[in-house]
Amino acid sequence: MRLAVALALASLLGASSAMAQQKQAVDPARVDAAVKAAFPTAPAEWQSRLAPDSTLKECSAHDNAPPKPVFDAIAAREKASIEYPPDGKFLGDWKKGEALAQSGYGMRFTDYPAARANGGNCYACHQITKRELSYGTIGPRLLEYGKLREFKEAEAKTAYEKIYNAQAAFPCSLMPRLGANKILSIEQIKDIVALLMSPESPVNEGR
């Protein structure tokens, strides 16, 4: 998140455009063709995985630090993708959320037919609870996430939106668009929001 903010600031200052320009040495069509040829056993329904969508194309072209007009266009486009819980509630079951945060299962070519639900794999990149010491450091630390936000309802909604589509909040964020890309369901995202925002969750255990 800090990274995304820094990148956003850098792009506002126009620092990245010159660098991005120099990288256009290879014709994108040539790259696309090489990628298509590299995965000859990919089934028809996997072909969409091989090519970046418009947002990813723009992110890669700008080193994930797009200039402001592109930044704003991505944010608007990605925000429009967010589907909200039909019952209007953002907090599910934090215990299920913890299990989802631990699980990296799903959507790899060895995960078909699916033996269980996809995980969110949050711990791969984030420190979330003090109990789990095997955590990654690509994403920001989320310790005491809810407590620091005084468990406000509006913050639960914001967390839901970030998990559903990180690029709506931070265009070109490195985080997967877990809801928009159909990795997690609305209910699963609510469970992870509960992990972050429930007063009972180990995320919010006192020091």
Partner 1 sequence: MTKLGRTLFAATCAAFAFASASLAQDDTEKALEQYRQMLKEDPWSNPGLLDADRGEALWTTPRGPNNVSLEQCDLGKGPGKVDGAFAELPRYFADADRVMDVETRILWCMEKLQGFKRADLVKRPHPGGGAPVKELGAIATYVASKSSGLTFAAKLAHPKEKEAVALGEALFVRRSGPFDFACASCHAEPGRRIRLQGLPQLARPEAARGVIGEWPAYRVSSTHVMTMQHRLYDCFWQMRMPELELGAEVSVALIAYLVNKAEGGAISAPAIKR
Binding site for partner 1 (CB under 8 A): 3, 23, 25-26, 28, 30-31, 34-35, 37-43, 46, 49-52, 56, 59-60, 63-64, 107-110, 123-125, 130, 133-138, 174-177, 181-183
CB 53 within 8 A of CB 119: no
How many other C-beta atoms lie within 10 A of the C-beta of residue 19?
A: 11
Q: Which residue, 113 or 137, has its beta carbon nearer to partner 1?
A: 137
Q: Which residue, 89 or 186, has its beta carbon nearer to partner 1?
A: 186
CB 164 within 8 A of CB 94: no
d(CA 34, CA 45): 19
Q: What angle do CA 194, 203, 170 make, to 5 degrees?
A: 70
Nearest approach, Cβ of residue 162 and partner 1 (Å): 14
Nearest approach, Cβ of residue 152 and partner 1 (Å): 25
What is the DSSP code (8-state) at residue 117? P
HSE-up (13 A, CA, CB side) for residue 101:
29
Q: Which residue, 91 or 201, has its beta carbon nearer to partner 1?
A: 201
Nearest to 206 by CA among 147, 122, 128: 147
Nearest approach, Cβ of residue 68 and partner 1 (Å): 20
Q: Which residue, 91 or 101, has its beta carbon nearer to partner 1?
A: 101
Q: Which residue, 157 or 183, has its beta carbon nearer to partner 1?
A: 183
Nearest approach, Cβ of residue 173 and partner 1 (Å): 9
Nearest approach, Cβ of residue 170 and partner 1 (Å): 12
**Identity of the residue numbered 190:** K
